[in-house]
Amino acid sequence: MARRAVVFAGIALLASTTLTACSTENPEAGSDGGSGSKPKGKIVLGFAQVGAESGWRTANTKSVQEAAKKAGITLKFSDAQQKQENQIKAIRTFIQQKVDVIAFSPVVESGWDTVLKEAKDAGIPVILTDRAVDSKDKSLYKTFLGSDFVKEGTSAGQWLTDEYANSKDTVNIVELQGTTGSAPANDRKAGFAEVIKGDHKFKIIASQTGDFTRAKGKEVMQAFLKSHKDIDVLYAHNDDMALGAIQAIEEAGKQPGKDIKVISVDGIKDAFVAMTEGKINVVVECNPLLGDQLMELTKSVAAGEVVPERVETEEGVFPQDKAKAALPSRKY
Ligand code: GZL
């Protein structure tokens, strides 16, 4: 999937003022203590977050909240606990509250046109951050800020084909997919499959969702280990599932990183520690620190300015031998 990506290089530091308020589970609380009136001159951003399912998500939420405070933007924040109906409800609440801008990370790609049309009819611009929607109507949102998940999948596949370049043996792979229907799960799977399809020695013998969580990642890996005695590689769509799977691998008496090579995505600190311990072989970075860029875009769309259709974050690939040196400077 070729994409015109505009890498948003610099992030202007924003004047700091106080964050007036940030509702937690329920956007009803609002930034004005429920009085209904909006602080004069302040932009009000409604942000509907996916949930708190992973270390990546926690870092992403912290980045958005800190950046809003720094930018002097009033943030109304909601946590959907990984349920689309909760995100839709939060967006409708933001519309009723007449926020200036709505931003959200769609938990899954489909089913957003109706509520996005309601935001458009209310004259409220929408920014997609982190995950994308599959809507054909590009007028329903102003821009997408986040990663190229297909590229992350191809980077994971490229590491594998390099690692086994001189091997003729079959390489049995199990895959822990992210949340079913989500853009990162769909695209990381597609990118990885695209790269390995060129060499028939690579066989994905099992592939199932672990919903981006440690607990589910462990549970599904336990099932994989029970039904497959010949697993060579685990490809996990995020670090939390990889870390859960590592526990299952060790409990099965095998060495993660050696008996079963582990490829992961995100780049949270715990994954770098696991790489220094030899338990993960490579991490493809997915940057959650989108807060400052999101606030820049929020100010621009609130002012009616034209913004790039797509703003991508810059990310790297960290093989195990790079982990020790990189760990001290990891920010999430
Ligand atoms: C990717 C993000 C994914 C992370 C997971 O941008 O949507 O969701 O890879 C997180 O850790 O749960």
Backbone angles phi and psi of 233, in degrees to 5:
-140, 140
144 lines ligand 1 (CB under 6 A): no
147 lines ligand 1 (CB under 6 A): yes
Judge whether residue 95 has pLDDT over 90: yes
**291 near 285, Cβ under 8 Å?**
no
Centre of ligand 1 from the C-alpha of residue 57, in Å: 6
pLDDT tier at 288, thresholds 50, 70, 90: very high
Choosing from 57, 83, 187 the residue with most ligand 1 atoms within 8 A of its CB, the one to mutate for a pocket test is: 57
Longest dimension (CA), the chain: 69
Rounded CA separation 302/297 (Å): 8
The single-letter DSSP state of residue 260 is B
**110 near 134, Cβ under 8 Å?**
yes
Give the tokens for residue 105: 């990370």
Judge whether residue 149 has pLDDT over 50: yes
Please report, to the nearest 10 degrees, the dihedral formed by the alpha carbons of residues 64, 69, 71, 74 taken in order.
90
286 lines ligand 1 (CB under 6 A): yes
Closest among 52, 64, 119 to 90, alpha carbons compared: 119
Q: Work out the average pLDDT over 6-32.
A: 43
CA 19 to chain centre: 25
Centre of ligand 1 from the C-alpha of residue 203, in Å: 25
The pTM (predicted TM-score) of the whole model is 0.89
Give the tokens for residue 275: 């790489």
Rounded CA separation 96/110 (Å): 23
Q: Where are the beta strands (DSSP E) in 50-165?
A: 74-79, 101-104, 126-129, 143-146
**103 near 46, Cβ under 8 Å?**
yes
Tens digit of each residue's pLDDT (9 = 90 or more) over 180-239:
999 999 999 999 999 999 899 999 999 999 999 999 999 999 999 999 999 999 999 999
61 lines ligand 1 (CB under 6 A): no
Closest among 20, 68, 73, 75 to 47, alpha carbons compared: 75
Judge whether residue 12 has pLDDT over 80: no
Centre of ligand 1 from the C-alpha of residue 287, in Å: 9
Q: Return the pLDDT at 16.
A: 42
Q: Return the pLDDT at 200.
A: 96
Rounded CA separation 291/298 (Å): 10
Judge whether residue 4 has pLDDT over 80: no
Q: Return the pLDDT at 40.
A: 62
Please report, to the nearest 10 degrees, the dihedral formed by the alpha carbons of residues 60, 66, 68, 70 taken in order.
-140
Judge whether residue 62 has pLDDT over 50: yes
Q: Work out the average pLDDT over 113-129.
A: 98
Rounded CA separation 256/250 (Å): 7
The single-letter DSSP state of residue 313 is P
Report all structural domains of the chain as residue ranges with CATH numbers, in order of start.
20-147+288-312 (3.40.50.2300), 149-286+320-329 (3.40.50.2300)
130 lines ligand 1 (CB under 6 A): yes
Tens digit of each residue's pLDDT (9 = 90 or more) over 238-247:
999 999 999 9
| Index of the ligand 1 atom closest to the CA of residue 53 | 12
Centre of ligand 1 from the C-alpha of residue 33, in Å: 31
The 3 state secondary structure assigned to 210-254 is CCCCHHHHHHHHHHHHHHCCCCCEEEECCHHHHHHHHHHHHHCCC
- Beta pairing partners, 78: 48
DSSP string of 10-66?
Answer: --------------SS-TTS-SSTTS-PPPTT--EEEEEE--S-SHHHHHHHHHHHH
Choosing from 107, 266, 268 the residue with most ligand 1 atoms within 8 A of its CB, the one to mutate for a pocket test is: 266
Rounded CA separation 137/210 (Å): 31
